[in-house]
Structure 1
Amino acid sequence: MITLERQSILNSEISTADSPGEIFAAMKRVAHEFGFRHVTLFAAGSPDENLVSRMIVETTLPSAYIQEFDRRRLLRLCPVAPIISKSVLPYCWSLDESENVRGFAIPAAMEELQRRYKLITSVAMALNSIDGDRFLLRFDGTRPRLTQVELNEIGMIVLHAFDVFDKIRRSAKTVGAGPLSSRELEVVRWTAQGKTSAEIGRILSLSDHTVNAYMTNAIKKLDCVNRTQLVAKALRLRLIM
């Protein structure tokens, strides 16, 4: 069980963070201190979203797991999101529990994939921004189910972390309103529709090299690591529709 001293250290680390990356680094430490292997921050997608990769803001989950999850279109089968969205408290469950204890059934394909990647016990918590954006933080690993005391502690730490994260995010959103040029926005919009660089080049009468240059600039401006995260962030910031 996490000690009050460690909880104080974690909260101090969170309080001094001045970027989303530092907040997530603190969340990785929280995951470790509570015995979890992975932590993921999701941004709520549209009701018809079917790819979890588009919802991920940051994660330590293996890319191969995410790719297979999306390839098999398992997001639409996920039974957890509706439960978590109805509560402000952290929710804990384990694949090793019976359906009656968990409170929901887990599709066989999803259970097989999670067991293969050792995502046995999970904790998730819905988080709502002041400006109305919705997020979800989730921890996964192989440890036993959390005690109620641990669940209360991790819930308080997550709320504190999200409060700091949201202030940083909203501040950056205000300062950086409209950070992309019109050409960069065009490239991002077409990327969001599934177009390749070559296809976008033909549409906009640009070379592949120029399209990729616009894409690279947009990725840097929005502090992203790849096209998938760029599109997800642009949608979340309402830079594209």
Structure 2
Amino acid sequence: MMDFNADITSLVLPDGRSINDAIGNEDDVKRVLDQISDAFGFRGFMVLAIPDSGCHSLAAQALLTSWPMEFLRRYDSAGLIEGSPVIQRLRRSTIPFTYDAHLLARRRVDGKGEAAISVFEAAGMPRGLYLPVHDAKGGRAAIAFGGDREVVSSDEMQALNFWAGLLYSRLSEVRTHDRRRPGSLSRREIECLRWAAAGKTTVEMARIMALSEYTVNHYLNRATRKLDSVNRVQTVAKAMRAGLIN
């Protein structure tokens, strides 16, 4: 049985690089996933909460991702999640599988096959794989890697499945810990809240802080969760009352 609580600092990536720092927060998880994605020749990754049948937005289910924000916008704008063979498979199976946008397009029954191909091709991610994962409480998700490299081998699939289980387990632990420590905002979270309090939009904050829109939203959403708020306005108000921003 795999020990997900083992010290990962001694583990080595396929290209020989080692992970030098322990994973203590979500940024560390993202950093390691970026390393793994790069080491295996993918363009990016996404940690995806399994959407229920009433969900209409892929972006809303992305817990962590390096996939382009424009990809998420185009995917949701085209309404691709409802008829997605991938989402349907993730809902009923826990077995890892590869994807090919062109092959999947033939399996869509909603007539949106060409739109799906266009979205994935434009992002440079026509092929990849999905790795179903779960946490200690049985919560289900998936970690996806996408790019234009050749189909992964069985050995690569096994290695990626190991990393996915290990990192999602750690991510779940970190998120649970954050919820128990509602006042512990990171420097980046506080910085984003300060700009939000100043009336800056997500686009403006991304430009000012030299970050992607997704990353800014990620920090803001994490701050909202930590402060147990229902929206961004309430998060800013709570942070000001707590003296976290002024």
Q: What TM-score results when the alignment is normalised by the length of structure 1?
A: 0.66
> Is 1:165 the equivalent of 2:149?
no
**Which residue does 2:90 correspond to in 1?**
84
- Give the secondary-structure state (helix, strand or coil) at the position aligned to 1:109: helix
Q: Deviations over 1:3-62 (max 9, x none)?
A: x9535967x628711111111110111111111011111233443121212112222222
Structure of higher RCO (CA pairs closer than 8 Å, 6+ residues apart):
1
Match of residue 68, structure 1, among 74, 77, 97? 74
Match of residue 123, structure 2, among 117, 120, 128? 117
1:20-39 aligned within 5 A:
20-39=26-45
My pick for the range that moved more, 28-37 or 58-67, is 58-67
**C-alpha deviation, 1:155, in angstroms:** 0.4
Q: Deviations over 1:94-117 (max 9, x none)?
A: 235x56xx9944722111221222
Is the CA contact 1:50–1:73 (under 8 Å) kept in the aligned structure 2?
yes
Amino acid at match of 1:6: L
**Which residue does 2:24 correspond to in 1?**
18
Distance of 2:20 and 2:169 partners within structure 1? 10
Unaligned runs of 5+ in 2: 1-10, 186-193, 201-213, 232-246
> Is 1:6 the equivalent of 2:10?
no
Is the CA contact 2:14–2:40 (under 8 Å) kept in the aligned structure 1?
no
Is the CA contact 2:100–2:127 (under 8 Å) kept in the aligned structure 1?
yes
**Which residue does 1:142 correspond to in 2?**
148
**C-alpha deviation, 1:172, in angstroms:** 1.7
Unaligned runs of 5+ in 1: 180-209, 217-223
Is the CA contact 2:42–2:146 (under 8 Å) kept in the aligned structure 1?
yes
Amino acid at match of 2:65: T
Specify whether residues 70 and 156 from structure 1 end up closer, same or farther in structure 2 by C-alpha distance, changes over 3 A only. Answer: same
Q: Deviations over 1:107-135 (max 9, x none)?
A: 22111221222211111122222234332
Distance of 1:44 and 1:235 partners within structure 2? 19
> Is 1:95 the equivalent of 2:101?
yes
Match of residue 55, structure 1, among 39, 61, 78? 61
Amino acid at match of 2:88: P
Is the CA contact 2:98–2:129 (under 8 Å) kept in the aligned structure 1?
yes
Q: CA RMSD in A?
A: 3.8
Amino acid at match of 2:166: H
Q: Deviations over 1:133-177 (max 9, x none)?
A: 332211100011111111111101111111222222222222339
Q: How many residues align?
A: 198
**C-alpha deviation, 1:235, in angstroms:** 7.6
My pick for the range that moved more, 161-170 or 230-239, is 230-239
Distance of 1:158 and 1:15 partners within structure 2? 18
Is the CA contact 1:54–1:228 (under 8 Å) kept in the aligned structure 2?
no
- Give the secondary-structure state (helix, strand or coil) at the position aligned to 1:6: coil
Is the CA contact 1:15–1:164 (under 8 Å) kept in the aligned structure 2?
no
Is the CA contact 1:54–1:229 (under 8 Å) kept in the aligned structure 2?
no
Specify whether residues 235 and 16 from structure 1 end up closer, same or farther in structure 2 by C-alpha distance, changes over 3 A only. Answer: closer
- Give the secondary-structure state (helix, strand or coil) at the position aligned to 2:180: helix
- Give the secondary-structure state (helix, strand or coil) at the position aligned to 2:42: coil
Q: Deviations over 1:73-105 (max 9, x none)?
A: 222221101212333332112235x56xx9944
